[in-house]
Amino acid sequence: MPSTSAEKEIRTYYGTLYRVWGAQHWWPAETQFEVIVGAYLTQNTAWINVERALANLRNAGALSLDALRRIRITKLERLIRPSGYFRQKAKRLKTFIKFLDRRYNGSLEKMLWQPTDRLREELLSLNGVGPETADSILLYAGNHPVFVVDAYTRRILDRHGILPANTDYEEIQRLLENALQPVVQEQEQQQQSCSAPPLATGIRGASHAPSAMSTATRTALVQIYNEMHGLIVGVGKNYCGKSTLKCDECPLHPFLPSAK
């Protein structure tokens, strides 16, 4: 099927951002379970608050499946308080562990080996798990080829005249996935490695230090979905804020409708 103009433009965004910023090393975590905990904690809050909550769990020796299974919910609430909505999130984490124990005998490996569509449906059936959380778990913990759509994605596509911000999640996801799938073949043909220096400001998008999960072996398509999500977060964090815009400094500025 021929690519649409929107798909071609999104591929251009990927190439532009990756040449400027390089690998983003998402998701910053040491274990699959840490990714899942982070996916819950990042709901309705900034990542810096999630890092504080994860540090509390790590320092308390509570950042593991067995530890969270045993911990009292009141203590869990106290540890994850920096992430906001801590009572709600503590209950949701406990619900996930009960699901894992009941459905997969406590085995993350068995859960993450399930077919993508089946596991996505199961995750979405859990209290407090919407499409973004489910897809974050699928992509970053399980290496399933799904694109994670977040508020930054909606905002950037809207401001660039590609899709309105209120477009259905699955429609946005289909567009990004269709746009990025050909990148795998393009990269294989070009056999290029992008490791360009950062901008003069020192900004590297949303880049994190390499971690066990960010450097784990992935399929080429999963890696591209992973990188594109991180690159979009970098644009949103540094240039495309909800109320503060720095369009002139953004690598995607040439692609704005007003700049064409």
Burial class (CB in 10 A: 0-12, 13-18, 19+), 41: buried
Q: Which domains does the chain have, with CATH numbers?
A: 5-26+148-255 (no CATH), 32-141 (1.10.340.30)
pLDDT at residue 193 tops 60: no
pTM score of the predicted model: 0.93
Instruction: Give the lowest-confidence range in 1-15, 181-195, 233-247.
Output: 181-195
- DSSP annotation of 27 reads S
pLDDT in tens, 86-116: 999 999 999 999 999 999 999 999 999 999 9
> Average pLDDT for residues 117-127, to the nearest whole number?
98
* Conformational region of residue 44, where left means phi above 0, alpha means psi within -120 to 50, and beta covers everything else: left
Extended beta strands in the chain, E state? none
C-alpha torsion 96→99→215→57, nearest 10: 40
